[in-house]
Amino acid sequence: MDIYVVVWIAFASAGVLAIAKLAPPLSSMAGFSYPNAKFNAIGSAYLQEKEISRLIGSKSLEDFKSNVVSRDFVIEGESIEEMQRSIDASLAKIIRMAEKDSPSNVRGFYDAYLQKIDAREIKNAIRGAIEGKKVEGGRVFSSFAEELMARIKEGGKEEMLSALSSSGMDEVRALIEAGAPISEIECAIDRKIVENMGNAAVPRSCIRSRNLFIKRMVDVLNIKAILRAKYYGMENAEKMLFGEGRELPSWKLEHMIKIKEIPEIISLLEGTSYIKPLRDAMPMYEKEGISALELALDRQLIRHVADIALDDTMGLGPGIRFVVEKEFEARNLKAIAKGIGEGLPSDKILKLMVVE
């Protein structure tokens, strides 16, 4: 065979192999083009101070409801509780929209994310069953919570324990059977939800963004747990942790738990992305307490998910940023409703807001 023919065949074969390797990622990227463009176009108005200040200036709950002009959030009801429930329902609808618009092989991530919204109802149902009360249960949105709540409502404590085992919540069951404090039980529920999000099936091209987001979230949850425990003088802070995150290994977390003063704990974060926002928040902490540090961590998480979106523009990154921002928007709206309904001063409500 002519040497040139052999070389040509070799190059052609290499090209076919290269295309075969690239084809799955390229097809995956194409599936994200529409939803990611949509997510970027929608924006996050209720993380902007100007828009938030306008809503805080509402004279009444009815005025607030009228002032929320959004295709995303529809405020309904007359009381604080009814409006907050409608905000949660709007958030769930937004996440379902993101799920529907995204490629089918990442939809499990969005369903798992809905468990964060369902966490309070799950905790209330489990607490009720522990206390021997009839569990009515409110509205939940994820398939995980729907199945769990249906079983808890069916029977008493024994049925609830069986349902926990069936749902992979063995740690929660063990804590209940050991008579652990409700705070530890609720933290175990949160850990399970974070675990479910981290285990949500996504294609190989999306694993890095999913894992990075979970690790960033775990960092923030761990720092909050330690700071809160020190601020309120709580014992057993180690039982409130979520495992290793992105920047904080277990040995550093153990060291932080041993420190008594919050400024010293923060100093141990030197070299991480969390040191500057927390140090900058210290003057406000001296005036407002632990909430100032928690808000600084929330803002840092928003920055991190924005970085994930920029690093993964044709994958899951923009979707992660979108649902995280919408969750914080919903939180702001619920806090505004509560503040207006309870007659809090505008400046006090503004200090509760997460802004970009």
Structure tokens, 157:
């404590």
Question: What was the pLDDT predicted at 347?
Answer: 94
Where would I find the beta strands (DSSP E) of 107-223? none
Q: Which amino acid is at 186?
A: E
Residue 32 included in any domain: no
* Sign, Cα dihedral of 261, 189, 133, 79: positive
Could you tell me which residues come within 8 angstroms of residue 266 by beta carbon, excluding any fewer than 6 positions away? 275, 278, 279, 282, 293
CA distance 290 to 136: 34
Residue 2 included in any domain: no
Domain's final residue, options 202, 226, 242: 202
Residue 137, burial from CB neighbour count under 10 angstroms (0-12, 13-18, 19+): middle
Residue 144 included in any domain: yes
Residue 3 included in any domain: no
Residue 29 included in any domain: no
CATH code for the domain of 178: 1.20.1690
Q: What is the pLDDT of residues 246-302, one digit of tens each?
A: 999 999 999 999 999 999 999 999 999 999 999 999 999 999 999 999 999 999 999
Q: Does one domain contain both 245 and 149?
A: no
Domain's final residue, options 202, 229, 263: 202
Q: Does one domain contain both 234 and 274?
A: yes
Q: Does one domain contain both 351 and 223?
A: yes
Q: Does one domain contain both 274 and 337?
A: yes
Query: What are the Cα distances from residue 95, in Å, to 15, 49, 137, 178, 279?
Result: 40, 24, 22, 36, 34
Structure tokens, 241:
């942790």
Percentages of the chain per state (helix, strand, coil), in multiples of 5: 75, 0, 25
Structure tokens, 195:
């675990």
Residue 28 included in any domain: no
Residue 21 included in any domain: no
Q: Does one domain contain both 67 and 116?
A: no
Structure tokens, 128:
């009720």
Long-range CB contacts (within 8 A, 24+) of 303-307 = 304/213, 304/216, 304/273, 305/213, 305/216
Question: Are 185 and 175 spatial neighbours (Cβ–Cβ below 8 Å)?
Answer: yes
Q: Does one domain contain both 344 and 234?
A: yes
Question: What was the pLDDT predicted at 282?
Answer: 97
User: For 162, left (φ over 0), alpha (ψ -120 to 50), or beta?
Assistant: alpha
Q: Which of 305, 314, 341 is nearest to 47 (CA)?
A: 305
Q: What is the pLDDT of residues 309-329, one digit of tens each?
A: 999 999 999 999 999 999 999
DSSP letter string, 258-302: H--SHHHHHHTTTTSTTHHHHHHHHHHHHHH-HHHHHHHHHHHHH
CA distance 334 to 329: 9
Domain's final residue, options 170, 202, 234: 202
Residue 211 included in any domain: no
Question: What was the pLDDT predicted at 70?
Answer: 86
Q: Does one domain contain both 240 and 316?
A: yes
- Domain range for 329: 46-78+218-356
DSSP letter string, 35-76: HHHHHHHH--GGGSHHHHHHHHT-SSHHHHHHH---SS----
Q: Does one domain contain both 224 and 121?
A: no
Question: Are 69 and 39 spatial neighbours (Cβ–Cβ below 8 Å)?
Answer: no
Q: What is the number of domains present in the chain?
A: 2
Query: Which stretches of the chain score pLDDT less than 50?
Result: 5-7, 9-10, 12-24
Q: Which of 168, 131, 176 is nearest to 148 (CA)?
A: 168
Question: What was the pLDDT predicted at 19?
Answer: 42
Question: What was the pLDDT predicted at 71?
Answer: 85
- How many CB atoms neighbour CB 47 within 10 A? 20
Question: Using the 8-state DSSP alphabet, how is residue 106 labeled?
Answer: G
- How many CB atoms neighbour CB 347 within 10 A? 8
**Cα 132 to the center of its chain, rounded Å:** 31
